[in-house]
Amino acid sequence: MLLIFSLALGSVIASILVGDAKHWREIDWLDVLGEGGSAIAVAIWMLLILGSRPAGRVTDLLMLGLGFIFLAMWQDNLDEFIRIPAEQWWDAWLESVAMPVGIALLTYGLFHWHSEQLSINRQLAKRERLFREHRFIDGLTQLGRADYLKEQLQQHLNSTRPMTLMMVDINEFGSFTRRFGHREGDRLVREIAELLLLNLRQSDLICRYAGDRFALLLPDTQGDAALQLAQEIELSVQHFAFKHSQNGETLYQRISIGLTECRSGDQPAQSIERVNQALLTAQRQHGCFLAA
């Protein structure tokens, strides 16, 4: 942004130095309004993009594209006030080359923005139903709480679709918080929640059941398929390099996972009791355990 505005200022100074000011009667005020207004609108778009997007390649491309378009319009507008000799090649270059270059960069940036947005939408879709029911949301992870799990479980148990309930617990979380503090503990819970979300399909549900415990509801999933998903989740957490926020030290974590198939006719409390029992066995065995 600074570079573009410096170039715009530079072009004003250069135009004044090499050109002659036009008499006010020669100025086409309709052109000034149209071209100047468009340049100001593009500058406002740049400020809006800077204020709403994180830094990165897509933002750079959008800013550069709009920046070139702004420069072309700016120079076009300057010509309304200053007569610049034809041998000043940079004037024609700024007017005619900057615009197509800007449009090409902007299009390329928008294409990447589109891909980025599709990926964000995929992640948001997993949380979408929660946004509609704020009272069930856990403040730390933005996931559903235990009461939301029970409600959803009840709905699923009324249908005949096969389903697995999974309970994930972070091993030795108590000693982690004692050693690294409450704030790091909160960060760990939040980051593991994100990691679990990444491992789920769109139809699955994840809730924060209690402190370091997450419940996952997996429709149309049973037996070995559920166990395989649990093992994949276990491995992804095991390889997740959590960084201490102060000293950057890498802290690896392990989780235990209990699973149970939900039987039609079960009450939510029965499925939850069974999965908590399976989790106890998983914690003893240091891995995943599917209750019979």
Ligand X SMILES: Nc1nc2c(ncn2[C@@H]2O[C@H](COP(=O)(O)OP(=O)(O)OP(=O)(O)O)[C@@H](O)[C@H]2O)c(=O)[nH]1
Note the residues at the interface with ligand X (CB under 6 A): 140, 169-175, 177, 182, 185-186, 189, 211-212, 283
Name the residue nearer to ligand X (CB basis): 169 or 266: 169
Q: Whole-number minimum distance, CB 245 to ligand X, in Å?
A: 13
Q: Whole-number minimum distance, CB 14 to ligand X, in Å?
A: 59
Tokens of 20: 């002659």
Q: Whole-number minimum distance, CB 42 to ligand X, in Å?
A: 46
Q: Whole-number minimum distance, CB 186 to ligand X, in Å?
A: 5
Q: Whole-number minimum distance, CB 170 to ligand X, in Å?
A: 6
Name the residue nearer to ligand X (CB basis): 68 or 176: 176
Name the residue nearer to ligand X (CB basis): 128 or 186: 186
CB atoms within 10 A of CB 41: 11
Q: Whole-number minimum distance, CB 105 to ligand X, in Å?
A: 45
Kindly report the backbone phi and psi dihedral angles of residue 247, in degrees, each rounded to the nearest multiple of 5, phi listed first.
-105, 0
> End-to-end CA distance of the chain, in Å?
62
Location of structure tokens 């609108």: 41
Cα separation, 158 vs 161, whole angstroms: 9
CA dihedral 227, 230, 232, 235 (to 10 degrees): -120
Name the residue nearer to ligand X (CB basis): 114 or 284: 284
Q: CA of 276: how far to CAs of 113, 160, 166, 172, 253, in Å? A: 43, 23, 9, 17, 20
Closest CA to 66 of 94, 44, 91: 44
Name the residue nearer to ligand X (CB basis): 100 or 174: 174
One DSSP character per residue, 130-175 reads: HHT-GGGB-TTT-SB-HHHHHHHHHHHHTS---EEEEEEEETTHHH
Name the residue nearer to ligand X (CB basis): 170 or 227: 170
